[in-house]
Amino acid sequence: MKKSQNIIPLERIAGRIYLIRGEKVMLDSDLAELYGVTTGNLNKAVKRNLRRFPDDFIFQLTSEETDQILIFQTGRSRQAIHGGRRHHPHAFTEQGVAMLSSVLHSDRAADVNVAIMRTFVKLRKTLANNRDLARKVEQHDREIATLFETVQQLLTPPDPPKKHHIGYIRPKE
């Protein structure tokens, strides 16, 4: 079995993964560039195989998402995102990208798909590690706060003892 080589650096792929509608997605134009096909041909292949791409695998961006979210996340101008397109971009979730390998039949498509899947896995691991680190820091902060309170209590001088009289005290007149 031949080991596939990384034909595209993971960082290049990771830079094209966006967070839209709470999902990590890649745009059709970015995928087309990575696969070495036109955006139109990529979308035609998807349309010919619609049963393989349910709504949780692919969705079309709204005008607001295209104009606001993508421009914010990519820093691209509106024209660069649209690129003379008549329709809003399609966004592919990780499952949608995996399904693309079944409709694009080339060695490059297979190699690119492996690289993209590895990138998604690496991002997921990085996010999990960051969550673990955040939990550890939060626990550490709580322990430090408890320690600080204890030290404050130890450093606070006790109230002076009340004088207790033994015996009868004569009332004042």
Segment 137-150, tens digit of pLDDT: 778 777 877 877 78
pLDDT tier at 92 (50, 70, 90 boundaries)?
very high
Q: What b/e readout covers 92-115, taking b as 16+ CB neighbours within 10 angstroms?
A: bbbebbebbbebbeeeebebbbbb
Cβ proximity of 17 and 24 under 8 Å: yes
The C-alpha atoms of residue 69 and residue 62 are separated, in whole angstroms, by: 10
Region 51-70: mean pLDDT is 86
